[in-house]
A and B are shown apart, each in its own frame.
Chain A
Amino acid sequence: DTGVSQNPRHKITKRGQNVTFRCDPISEHNRLYWYRQTLGQGPEFLTYFQNEAQLEKSRLLSDRFSAERPKGSFSTLEIQRTEQGDSAMYLCASSPGRASSGNTIYFGEGSWLTVV
């Protein structure tokens, strides 16, 4: 079990540029989540997938944000036309999705985004 893997770990970009983050979940976890965390705050839910289907999106996820999970394995989170307010840590998490035994969510190390 290698854990949830995210890359890049850090990204500095100029305002207006596009960025993409990748997340590789724990093997055989069918649920994958994206959260955003700003300094001094707890993480906030953005979206989640059950296999390749995106089942829910938060109102925090503006139309500049898009997430995909092709083939139900890794996922990407793309932010278009970045703004300074997008600066945050983007956390990916995965879970087995088994309601009977509890749906424990495991987080990755996060991807820091700084928009200058």
Chain B
Amino acid sequence: AQSVTQPDIHITVSEGASLELRCNYSYGATPYLFWYVQSPGQGLQLLLKYFSGDTLVQGIKGFEAEFKRSQSSFNLRKPSVHWSDAAEYFCAVDVSGNTGKLIFGQGTTLQVKP
């Protein structure tokens, strides 16, 4: 069955430190991959997406993600975290041929220490 795993439920980093959030997926075909961010009580904001082509994709707010087919991973990175990045991050996979039916991971909560 298709699934998305975010192994880290909660991560704490110091402001200015680098960040990597992990995402692994289980899906047989070429995936369409997304990262979204959610602030408390709010909807989801798209950070970046991968459909095809260059496996390193750039997003908003200084985030990037790398698709690694051999590892079935799509990890999110940021070189220097800001306090405003504290939020919940969701990795998602479109499992039905680009229709928009997404399967989400459980999310990773990012806390930023001053």
The answer for the CA separation of A12 and B105 in the assembled complex, in Å, is 28
Beyond A104-B46, A110-B43, whether A41 also contacts B100 by CB under 8 A is: no
Nearest CB of B to A81, in Å: 27
B51 touches A102 (CB 8 A): yes
B106 touches A42 (CB 8 A): yes
Is B63 at the interface (CB under 8 A from chain A)? no
A42 touches B98 (CB 8 A): no
Is A22 at the interface (CB under 8 A from chain B)? no
Interface band, chain B: 20 to 34
Is B56 at the interface (CB under 8 A from chain A)? no
Across-interface contacts of A103 in B (CB, < 8 A): 32, 94, 98-100
Across-interface contacts of B43 in A (CB, < 8 A): 4, 6, 91, 107-110
Across-interface contacts of A33 in B (CB, < 8 A): 100-101
Is A72 at the interface (CB under 8 A from chain B)? no
Q: Which of B44, B99, B103 contacts A48 (CB 8 A)?
A: B99
B100 touches A43 (CB 8 A): no
Nearest CB of B to A64, in Å: 22
Give chain B interface residues in 41-80, CB to chain A under 8 Å.
Answer: 41-46, 49, 51
The answer for the CA separation of A106 and B100 in the assembled complex, in Å, is 10
Q: Which of B46, B51, B104 contacts A43 (CB 8 A)?
A: B104
Is B34 at the interface (CB under 8 A from chain A)? yes
Identify the closest chain A residue to B107 (Cβ): A42
Across-interface contacts of A99 in B (CB, < 8 A): 98
Identify the closest chain A residue to B6 (Cβ): A42
* Given A42-B92, A56-B96; 17 other pairs, CB 8 A cutoff: A4-B43, A6-B43, A31-B99, A31-B100, A33-B101, A40-B107, A42-B106, A48-B99, A55-B99, A91-B43, A93-B100, A95-B100, A103-B100, A105-B102, A107-B45, A108-B43, A110-B42
Query: 6 smallest A-B Cβ distances: which pairs?
Result: A42-B104, A102-B51, A109-B43, A107-B44, A107-B43, A110-B43
